Structure 1
């Protein structure tokens, strides 16, 4: 494929820019006045678009908050592939997650978003659903690290599922404790419980 074929079209670039602007406007409103209190009409007005245009980009306001989790799964896969090959798969997954967090996250904003997700039942349910999609993204690399074999695919998916569940439990405790310790501390405790 040539460089010209790989380059996003003007339409794709415009759509990505609009998606980013709508997301930024919505997240600003959610964090300022609360998720439940923010309407789609307010998001559309803040982004300078119509309500109808909002629904061209997002199926619901939950999608604004949650859609990045699917994209984070791809970024996590890239980070997982970069982890040293001589560490066990659990350490590689943790290392990938926290490499990604250090490179991209504003910790105060991350905590504010986590509070919103764990405090809103519809967001919590959707976040679990989206995290489960990480299995599809991460399983092949985990399976490769396991060295193959008859049950390696099943084992890989089970490991990713446990990791995602431990991350969810750790995130909930981190929010409940108002980030008294780094998220990694909570995740390490959760993973130890599963692995012990």
Structure 2
């Protein structure tokens, strides 16, 4: 077996353990409340030591929000894949489908996660911090789409921030409706409110 295969197998095993720990944490937070659960509680529920748990997740918040980090890169990749002639705002709206896909595939799980984040100030704050990290990545993808005659560092960053805010407002409304409203329609409505006229 070569080194690449070993690394790949190790990475797969690590990702599986990480996913299992995150699921155990999520279920415990839902049942007991985020503030009532300690890292020691999480480790015990998962059947691992505290140090093992902390090797996978540095904080309780990260056990819930770990997947949020990668979403900014996925949005940027989807943005780069949009047709070149498409306006930035339309391209941004479609690029957000990479985030919304989880809500479509597992609406019950996504709704439970959204409720947990909304009712937990520490998770709300950490989620916003992570999403702030998306902005420069998305802005860079937007800048790559721009014509050479439109060199602007500020414009793509503002559009990226606005798109993320549109997503958040739509998800907040979707969560408040207990998933009865259509998330895609809410995002479309939020984007329409800021569309160039």
Provide the TM-score with structure 1 as the length reference. Answer: 0.85
Q: How far is 1:90 from its partner?
A: 1.6
* Paired position in structure 2 for 1:95: 94
Distance 1:67 1:53, change over 3 A: same
Q: How far is 1:20 from its partner?
A: 2.1
* Paired position in structure 2 for 1:63: 62
Distance 1:47 1:192, change over 3 A: same
Q: How far is 1:23 from its partner?
A: 1.2
Determine the C-alpha separation between the residues in 2 that align with 1:47 and 1:128: 27
* Paired position in structure 2 for 1:163: 163
Provide the TM-score with structure 2 as the length reference. Answer: 0.84
* Paired position in structure 2 for 1:123: 123
In the alignment, structure 1 residue 135 sits paired with structure 2 residue 138: no
Q: How far is 1:50 from its partner?
A: 0.8
- Confirm or deny: 8 A CA contact 2:89 2:195 kept in the other structure: no
5+ long unaligned stretches in structure 1: none
Distance 1:32 1:80, change over 3 A: farther
Which runs of at least 4 in structure 1 moved beyond 6 Å after TM superposition? none
Q: How far is 1:166 from its partner?
A: 1.7
Pairing of 1:5-44 with structure 2 (within 5 A):
8=7, 11-44=10-43
